[in-house]
Amino acid sequence: MKGGIMGLGLTLIVVVLLLSQSVFFVGERERAIVLQLGEAVETKARLPGLNFKLPLIQNAVFFDHRILVFEIAKTESLTSDLKAFEIDNYVCWRITDPLTFYRSLRTDHVAEERLRNIVYSQLRAAIGGKELNEVVFTKRTDIMEEVLKKSAAQAADYGVSIVDVRIKRTDLPNRQAIFDRMNAERTRMANKYRYEGESEDRRIRSEAEMQQDIIISQANMDSIVIRGKADARAMEIFAEAVAADQEFYEFLKSLDVYRKAFRDKTRIIMSDDNPLLKFMR
């Protein structure tokens, strides 16, 4: 009698153990997959509720189905206009395919590290193509939508859905270093503009001086030509006047000689037949 009771008790214990190993409950916030000797035996995850598996050789792995959040530590980024600033952001994500997630990432910690690298690389690429004013003000929403879209496409290969990506805060790094860098950049630009201005000034002055020399040379040449023509015309007119009345010309020339010779009560002694006195007789 006692042996029968003990046997029945052992049988009940074994049944209870087998049932406890065969039945598992999936909560509303969870999804589960069944593994056999470490490998998944099903193509779909188990949904919330009471579920069954083979005892001893199979086990269930649970995954959080809620939206999870992790933060990316503050990092320095560089914009297209070479402005450096620090950003820290957060990522909202969810496991959508537990089987793929288990095969590729297995744990939440590994998933966060992988997603952190994906989001960080996409964020730096998006910011690197924009100016600082666009990142901080005008195109911040567009940048985050672009990062979310590209990051989600990469994360889908791991059975993960990225729900949202947001920048928490943007801040300048070492302000003194930024000031020094900006000052150096402005000084470089000022020197560049000053050098270009001086070069342009020298070029304009050289061209002006060359044009001045050309104009003066042309004017001198024109002046010589005009003067030559005028002298030639004057000599031609003079010759025509002399040829028209030779005696009158001699009379005028004599008057010039008289005017120069008999000035200031000058006394000159000459004979009566002197040609100089021709018109005074």
- pLDDT per position as a tens digit, 190-225: 998 998 999 899 999 989 999 999 999 999 998 999
What pLDDT does residue 84 have?
A: 73
pTM of the complete model = 0.55
SS3 content of the chain, % helix, strand, coil (to 5): 60, 20, 20
> Which of 64, 84, 118 is where one domain is finished?
64
Residues 137 and 149 in one domain: yes
What pLDDT does residue 178 have?
A: 63
Residues 145 and 87 in one domain: yes
Rounded CA gap, 65 and 46, in Å?
12
What pLDDT does residue 155 have?
A: 92
113 found inside a domain? yes
189 exposure class (CB count in 10 Å sphere: 0-12, 13-18, 19+)? exposed
Q: Cα–Cα–Cα angle for 31, 33, 34, nearest 5°? A: 145
What pLDDT does residue 123 have?
A: 87
The count of residues in the chain is: 281
Residues 97 and 173 in one domain: yes
> Which of 177, 199, 221 is where one domain is finished?
177
Mean pLDDT computed over every residue of the chain:
82
Least confident of 46-50, 103-107, 238-242: 238-242
Residues 75 and 113 in one domain: yes
Between 38 and 223, whose confidence is greater? 223
Residues 102, 42 contacting (CB under 8 angstroms): no
90 found inside a domain? yes
Residues 59 and 72 in one domain: no
Structural domains in the chain (count): 3
Between 62 and 257, whose confidence is greater? 62
Q: Over 70: is that where the pLDDT of 278 sits?
A: no
Residues 35, 53 contacting (CB under 8 angstroms): no
What pLDDT does residue 150 have?
A: 92
Q: Over 80: is that where the pLDDT of 4 sits?
A: no
Residues linked to residue 86 through DSSP beta bridges, in sequence order: 76, 171
Condensed to tens digits (0 to 9), the pLDDT of residues 149-166 reads: 999 999 999 999 999 998
216 found inside a domain? no
> Which of 64, 80, 105 is where one domain is finished?
64
Residues 86 and 46 in one domain: no
Residue in the structure block whose two tokens are 């952001």: 89
For residue 130, the 8-state DSSP code is: S
What pLDDT does residue 15 have?
A: 66
What pLDDT does residue 157 have?
A: 92
**CA distance to 101, 106, 173, 180, per residue, from 176 (Å):** 46, 45, 9, 6
Least confident of 121-125, 129-133, 199-203: 129-133
> H or E element: which one contains 112?
helix 108-128
For residue 44, the 8-state DSSP code is: S
What pLDDT does residue 95 have?
A: 93
Range of the domain at 47: 2-64
146 found inside a domain? yes
111 found inside a domain? yes
240 found inside a domain? no
